[in-house]
Amino acid sequence: MKIQISVTVNNIEFSHTVEPRLLLVNYLRDVLRLTGTHVGCDTSSCGACTILLNGKATKSCTLLAVQADQARITTIEGLSKNEVLHPLQEGFNECHGLQCGFCTPGMIMTAASLLQENPNPTEEEIRMALEGNFCRCTGYHNIIKSVQYASNKMKKEVAL
């Protein structure tokens, strides 16, 4: 038995008939071909699969696609606008917040959720928000700097 779902991903509406056991991460990667969302551990431990589900950071590897029916989803591909990088994407580039890049989409999406809720987080608040995301290359110091860069840039953009 297959189930019909409708989702809005990166501001585009999609409807598909899916297997009830299809994970959201596999729906995004295999059906929609949005491969920026990574599969790391399949247990929600590493955070590489983090997306925004109705504006909240959510690990998509332990959520079924049918559970996201009628949801608004943002993936790493949906953060940039008109080919202009989001301040977080720019920050990770400018502050060397990525090494191998595997954790980067999940880190950025988690940080995006944080900055929506708290546009001026302290270093400790950034660390707390990112604690469910693992960087195996130990780039945490520069990841924190990258989020701070984005926070500062977003504050300046709002002031303009």
CA 92 to each of CA 64, 67, 85, 141: distance values in angstroms, whole numbers, following the listed order: 30, 31, 10, 11
- In tens, the pLDDT along 57-105 reads 999 999 999 999 999 999 999 999 999 999 999 999 999 998 888 999 9
3-78: CATH homologous superfamily?
Beta-grasp domain (3.10.20.30)
Mean pLDDT over 43-59 rounds to: 93
Closest CA to 130 of 107, 148, 96, 103: 107
Q: How far apart are CA 90 and CA 74, in angstroms?
A: 18
- Positions of CATH 1.10.150.120 in the chain: 87-159
Q: Is the pTM of this model over 0.75?
A: yes
Location of each CATH 3.10.20.30 domain in the chain = 3-78
Question: Span 50-56, mean pLDDT?
Answer: 97
CA neighbor of 37 nearest in space, from 52, 26, 49: 49
Which CATH number is 87-159 given? 1.10.150.120
Percent over 70 (pLDDT), the chain:
98
pLDDT value at 157 more than 80: no
